């Protein structure tokens, strides 16, 4: 299944995680000469200060030159026990609440409302600083994510970049000491993943530390880049490579091995209970996560019921679509999709890469008329490994947005269209690039809503179908419906695990039976839901809301409804909370009704 890598905002990484800045703290930064800054200038300063607390966010978003800092530090993982990190957020909220919205332009007023929503969400996260799973088998696991960050995000074009890379390598043991302290603290409130996941996580971490230095991903990525650097003389290149090998052998790899040993010891003390309910404040924590990921007040029971309804609806659509192309609609979904896979064939490697590029080109032509604005940012498709994901381009334009195609996978051909449309056009790339190029205050940079962004990408899969992309590909349409079913089943499984105390095997069995997906895929997915409670429900919740709002606009406007203008209204402020999206669409409807 596809996964999206995004530039997370600083308060998601630092404030919500409850950690102390590793660099210098600065407060209320605003343009020089602004003795009495406007609210927008003030909030731009607050956002910049929050970003400064996360060196990794600065690198990810391409802000180092703008902020005048090097890409040479890793985020601290020290728990903020004093609440000091929340002071600038609380002050910003106080100023917003005491301001007069009538003094702001419509654009700024709405942007401030969105920013305030996220600041309040950060404050709401404060009681749960110790609850997050910082080590697991999933991509959010700190040690594995760090390797990905160093090899995929850290820039390696110049000698200064190489020196910054080495500086970051040297900090890994200190960061792992902080991580271990956090893990032990989380263990005290039963906030660790189940034993079987910790054991596998230990294996993964140990494998990173046990690889021969010259074959380690951390070294090979660095070495390839250094050899291509035009500003580094041959002798200096070898000096950099020698230092990288030394750091790996003497500093980095021992830290991974030691961390793996500690995680293995924790696994021996853990249980196989999978849900957040087992944590000391698990019920409140899960309720917070559902709110933050869906941006709604939906309860676990309401989300569970929504999932069951959506599953039933989509299964009926699948069986009808299958019957229309000659498949037996009474088959189990596992047998149905096995037959579909045999009929559609499989794709991998260079063939998959070429197919993705062709689909993106066709999607651009197909979708362009239904979007009033089209981003100028470029998108490239590169060979990834076994995981498909989209990586946003940084704000400094130092690299393009990238879709990493899963060339190491042997995928059923019927599943490729929905993957590409979800991740690129009209999905994540189109939405993210449009947001980056919108004329919005700087403080909205990095603000994101899973319900909106993942709901939009799931909407993009359906939109492509509505625009005719599957007209000559009925097997691909069945693949699209399976993806929609898979996202709906997540609502049932996630709430089942974390609110209804389902076991791992219960969740696996339900999802296999419900979706027809292969067992290895389902097991990987259920592990994801265990270690990132609540996140997986965002997709369908977002999709349902976007479709509801589009139907509302169509009914209200009748023949005057314009899809391109609707999309412009939805995408105008980037990735927004769903209640604010509803207000934006209602304003769009009212404005169109006023137009002669």
Q: What pLDDT digit, counting tens, does each position of 247-261 carry?
A: 999 999 999 999 999
pLDDT band of residue 363 (cuts 50, 70, 90) is: very high
Burial 323-356 (b: 16+ CB within 10 A, else e): eeeebeeeeebeebbeebbeebeebeeeebbebb
| pLDDT surpassing 90 at residue 398 | no
Share of the chain above pLDDT 70, in %: 94
pLDDT in tens, 181-201: 999 999 999 999 999 999 999
Indicate the pairing of strand 411-412 with strand 379-383: unpaired
Residue from 360, 318, 311 nearest 479 by CA: 318
Q: Which two tokens stand for residue 42?
A: 């003030």
Query: Please, what is the average pLDDT of the chain?
Result: 93
Please tell me the predicted confidence (pLDDT) of residue 81. 85
Q: Would you list the DSSP string of 124-153?
A: HTGGGTTTS--SSSSTTSHHHHHHHIIIII
Q: Is the pTM of this model over 0.85?
A: yes
Please tell me the predicted confidence (pLDDT) of residue 59. 96
Please tell me the predicted confidence (pLDDT) of residue 35. 58
CB atoms near residue 192 (< 10 Å): 26
Question: Rounded CA gap, 299 and 449, in Å?
Answer: 18
- Phi, psi torsion values for 504, nearest 5 degrees: -55, -45
Q: Which two tokens stand for residue 132?
A: 């997050």
CB atoms near residue 126 (< 10 Å): 15
Please tell me the predicted confidence (pLDDT) of residue 387. 87
| pLDDT surpassing 50 at residue 7 | no
Least confident of 27-41, 167-181, 373-387, 569-583: 27-41
Does residue 426 have a cis peptide bond before it, meaning omega lies within 30 degrees of 0? yes
Query: Torsion-angle region of residue 397: left (phi > 0), alpha (psi -120 to 50) or beta?
Result: left
247 neighbors 170 (Cβ within 8 angstroms): yes
197 neighbors 203 (Cβ within 8 angstroms): no
Q: Taking residues 561-586, report their average pLDDT.
A: 98
> End-to-end alpha-carbon separation of the chain, Å?
47
| pLDDT surpassing 80 at residue 448 | yes
pLDDT in tens, 129-164: 999 999 999 989 999 999 999 999 999 999 999 999
* Between 87 and 13, residue with greater pLDDT: 87
pLDDT band of residue 34 (cuts 50, 70, 90) is: low
Determine the 3-state secondary structure of 171 from DSSP: helix
Q: How far is CA 319 from CA 24, 332, 469, in A?
A: 59, 10, 20
| pLDDT surpassing 60 at residue 6 | no
pLDDT band of residue 282 (cuts 50, 70, 90) is: very high
Q: Taking residues 432-442, report their average pLDDT.
A: 95
Least confident of 10-19, 142-151, 214-223, 376-385: 10-19
Please tell me the predicted confidence (pLDDT) of residue 23. 38
């Amino acid at each position: 299944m596809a996964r999206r890598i995004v530039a997370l905002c600083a308060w998601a990484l630092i404030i919500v995680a409850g950690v102390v800045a590793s660099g210098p703290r600065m407060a209320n930064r605003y343009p020089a000469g602004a003795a009495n800054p406007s609210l927008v200038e003030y909030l731009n300063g607050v956002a910049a200060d929050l970003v400064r607390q996360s060196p990794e966010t600065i690198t990810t978003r391409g802000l180092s030159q703008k902020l005048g800092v090097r890409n040479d530090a890793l985020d601290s993982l020290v728990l903020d026990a004093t609440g000091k990190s929340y002071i600038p957020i609380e002050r910003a909220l106080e100023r917003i609440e005491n301001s007069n919205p009538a003094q702001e332009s419509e654009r700024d007023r709405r942007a401030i409302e969105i920013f305030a929503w996220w600041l309040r969400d950060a404050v709401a996260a404060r009681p749960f600083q110790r609850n997050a799973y910082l080590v697991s088998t999933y991509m959010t696991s700190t040690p594995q994510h760090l390797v990905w960050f160093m090899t995929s995000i850290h820039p390696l074009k110049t000698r200064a970049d190489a020196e910054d890379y080495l500086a970051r390598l040297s900090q890994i043991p200190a960061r792992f000491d902080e991580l271990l302290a956090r893990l032990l603290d989380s263990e005290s409130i039963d906030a660790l993943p189940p034993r079987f996941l910790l054991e596998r996580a230990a294996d993964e971490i140990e494998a990173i530390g046990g690889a021969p230095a010259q074959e380690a991903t951390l070294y090979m990525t660095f070495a390839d880049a250094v050899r291509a650097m035009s500003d580094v003389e041959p002798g200096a290149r070898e000096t950099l490579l020698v230092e990288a090998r030394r750091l790996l052998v003497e500093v980095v790899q021992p830290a991974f091995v030691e961390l793996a040993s500690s995680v293995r010891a924790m696994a021996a003390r853990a249980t196989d209970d999978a849900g957040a309910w087992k944590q000391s404040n698990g019920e409140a924590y899960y309720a917070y996560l559902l709110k933050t990921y869906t941006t709604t007040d939906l309860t676990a029971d309401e989300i569970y019921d929504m999932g069951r309804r959506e599953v039933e609806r989509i299964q009926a659509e699948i069986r009808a679509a299958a019957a229309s192309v000659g498949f037996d609609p009474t088959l189990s979904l596992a047998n149905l999709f096995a037959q579909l896979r045999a009929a559609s064939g499989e794709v991998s490697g260079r063939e998959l890469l070429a197919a993705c590029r062709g689909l993106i080109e066709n999607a651009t032509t197909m979708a362009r008329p239904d979007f009033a604005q089209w981003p100028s940012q470029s998108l490239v498709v590169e060979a990834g490994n076994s995981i498909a994901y989209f990586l946003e381009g940084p704000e400094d334009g130092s690299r393009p947005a990238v879709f990493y195609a899963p060339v190491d996978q042997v995928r059923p051909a019927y599943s490729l269209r929905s993957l590409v449309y979800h991740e690129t056009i009209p999905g994540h790339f189109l939405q993210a690039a449009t947001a980056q190029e919108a004329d919005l205050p700087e403080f909205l940079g990095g603000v994101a809503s899973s319900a909106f962004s993942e709901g939009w990408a799931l909407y993009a899969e359906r939109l492509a179908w509505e625009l005719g992309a599957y007209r000559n590909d009925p097997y691909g349409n069945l693949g699209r419906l399976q993806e929609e079913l898979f996202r709906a089943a997540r609502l049932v499984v996630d709430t089942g695990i974390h609110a209804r105390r389902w076991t791992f095997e219960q969740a696996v069995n339900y999802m296999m039976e419900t979706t027809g997906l292969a067992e290895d895929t389902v097991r990987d997915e259920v592990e994801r839901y265990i270690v990132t409670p609540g996140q997986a429900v965002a997709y369908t919740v977002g999709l349902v809301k976007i479709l509801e709002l589009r139907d509302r606009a169509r009914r209200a406007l009748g023949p005057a409804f314009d899809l391109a203008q609707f999309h412009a209204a939805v995408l105008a402020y980037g990735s927004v909370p769903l209640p604010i999206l509803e207000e934006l669409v209602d304003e769009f409807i009212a404005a169109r009704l006023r137009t002669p």
